[in-house]
């Protein structure tokens, strides 16, 4: 058996494992979320409002068949940023364990969040 080939293959496996480990440690933002609130800031039934963050970096906020807001999104340094906001749906969110925490002027907005 050629030890040079075995050694090179082993190095490639280690590099691939390290690279996949690095990407796994980064929080992932894409997916489907709903509003999770402490109280009734958005009113009863707000948990039915959905946010879809698609792989093509578009987002859509829907209440049933009604599209309330859409645009582009990006994820960087543990934050998700929307291309636009409206009302209480702000532009910046901190990614935290399956949740998007709304942020405004560097401070967390209390009372609600997007949750997977």
pLDDT, position 92: 97
Q: Is residue 23 in a domain?
A: no
20 assigned to some structural domain: no
Q: What is the pTM of this model?
A: 0.73
pLDDT, averaged across the chain: 81
**Is 14 inside a domain boundary?**
no
What integer pLDDT is reported at residue 27 of this predicted model? 55
> Is 65 a member of any domain?
yes
User: Is residue 61 in a domain?
Assistant: yes
User: What pLDDT does 42 receive?
Assistant: 81
| Residue 111, domain member (yes or no) | yes
What distance lies between CA 40 and its chain's CA centroid?
Answer: 24
- Residue-wise pLDDT for 20-75, tens only, equals 344 444 457 999 999 999 876 788 888 899 999 999 999 999 999 999 999 999 99
Start-to-end CA span in the chain (Å): 50
- Asked if the structure places residue 11 within a domain, the reply is no
- Domain containing 74 equals 28-115
Question: Contact 102/113 with Cβ under 8 angstroms?
Answer: yes
Contact in structure between 51 and 114 (CB atoms under 8 Å)? yes
Q: What is the CATH number of the domain that holds 40?
A: 2.40.128
Instruction: Work out how many domains the chain is built from and give that number.
Output: 1
């Amino acid at each position: 058996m050629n030890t040079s080939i075995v050694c090179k293959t082993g190095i490639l496996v280690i590099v691939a494992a390290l690279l996949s480990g690095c990407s796994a440690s980064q929080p992932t933002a894409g997916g489907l979320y709903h509003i999770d609130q402490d109280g009734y800031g958005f009113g009863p039934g707000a948990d039915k409002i959905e946010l879809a963050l698609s792989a093509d970096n578009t987002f859509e906020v829907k209440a049933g068949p009604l599209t309330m807001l859409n645009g582009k999104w990006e994820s960087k340094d543990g934050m998700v940023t929307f291309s636009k906001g409206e009302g209480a749906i702000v532009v910046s969110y901190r990614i935290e364990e399956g949740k998007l925490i709304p942020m405004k002027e560097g401070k967390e907005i209390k009372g609600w969040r997007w949750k997977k």
